[in-house]
Amino acid sequence: MNDPLVSVVVPCFRQGQFLPEALQSVLDQTYHNWECIVVNDGSSDNTEQVAAAWIKKDKRFKYLYQDNSGVSSARNSGIAHSKGEYILPLDADDKIAPEYIEKAVEAFLISPDLTLVYCEAEKFDEESGKWNLAPFSLHTMSRKNVIFCSALYKKKDWERVCGYDINMSKGIEDWEFWIALLKHGGMVKQLNFTGFYYRIRNNSRTALVEKNGIIDMYEYMTVKHPDFFVGQYGSFIEMERNMLNYRKEVDLQLKSEKFVVDLFCKRFFGFTIFGRLDSIKNLQEKKRNVK
């Protein structure tokens, strides 16, 4: 009862070179009742050989293979095969501090009503230093993701929201999952210590996603959770302002502000309100021209 099993799920796609560091960080945990499931998401590198070597080191390591289906599918596969009461996702190129699982489990045991526990984080590799994440709130979460993928949560909550959405194929799947998990309520705790280390690489999955499709995923996410986003934005003006800020953050080369607004309005409000908004913009432009 006081030593619940924690399942660490490590999806890996062409990251075999980094996998030993991630698995070593799991092996170094001060908390001992864990299993670690490496999910080979159709890698053509040495992921299988690396995983096999770690299974020989410690029987708590396990291995799954699937044809390449994306990180959401890989996480879901690993969690579906897991036996733990708690789940900790860990990307194959990241690391966790030795005390992370122990401190996170302790937080759950002290406050059983918690839904999610995470910690402070640092970046490493091509960029280093503290990762300054904004404090969690649903309001902030509607504007940007403030919780990295490696947070501890209950397996039953993963089941409740039907897991990670495999349609989030171009990234930010963890952001969508946190929204699904927390939008109807739930307590979140951030531990006051650095327990997660996030690798920064110019050719990382996140960097490529930000250049090639994150707006599509953001649009899909807002359409999937209109109740959450409408409730948190409060008004179209706030929503529009956030869309512009988000565009700047990911540094996408979009043609105009109107392109971003169109994507959201067509989905949320339909063409009638969209037409009204377009008319308002035209009137504003005419007024500026008259002045």
pLDDT at 248: 66
pLDDT of residue 216: 82
Structural domain tally of the chain?
A: 2
The answer as to whether 55 is a domain residue is yes
In a domain, 1, yes or no: no
In a domain, 182, yes or no: yes
CA neighbor of 41 nearest in space, from 61, 20, 70, 80: 70
* Rounded alpha-carbon distances, angstroms, from residue 23 to 76, 97, 138, 146, 233: 19, 12, 32, 25, 40
DSSP string, 232-275: HH-SHHHHHHHHHHHHHHHT---S-HHHHHHHHHHHHTHHHHHH
| Judgement on whether residues 196 and 219 belong to the same structural domain of the protein | no
* Residue-level pLDDT at 170: 86
Say whether both 55 and 161 belong to one domain.
Answer: yes
Residues 164 and 239 reside in one and the same domain:
no
Q: Which residues contact 195 (CB under 8 A, 6 or more apart)?
A: 96, 97, 99, 100, 103, 104, 119, 120, 121
Determine what percent of the chain falls in helix, strand and coil, rounding each to the nearest 5: 45, 20, 35
Q: Last residue of some domain: 203, 226, 255?
A: 203
Amino acid at 37: I
pTM of the model: 0.81
Residues 64 and 196 in one domain: yes
CA–CA separation, 109 and 178 (whole Å): 21
Q: Please say whether the beta carbons of 57 and 32 come within 8 A.
A: no
Task: Report the DSSP pairing between strands 95-96 and 187-200.
Answer: antiparallel
Last residue of a domain, one of 141, 174, 203: 203
Do residues 261 and 138 share a domain?
no
How does pLDDT run along the chain (291 residues), one tens digit per residue? Answer: 589 999 999 999 999 999 999 999 999 999 999 999 999 999 999 999 999 999 999 999 999 999 999 999 999 999 999 999 999 999 999 999 999 999 999 999 999 999 999 999 999 998 889 999 999 999 999 988 999 999 999 999 999 999 999 999 888 999 999 999 999 999 999 999 999 999 988 655 555 445 557 778 888 888 899 889 888 887 666 666 666 666 666 554 444 334 444 444 444 444 333 443 444 345 445 445 544
Q: Which domain, by its residues, includes 168?
A: 6-203
pLDDT of residue 237: 66
Q: What's the rounded Cα separation, in Å, for the pair 246 and 130?
A: 22
Here the tokens at position 203 are 């050719």
CA atoms within 13 A on the CB side of 235: 3
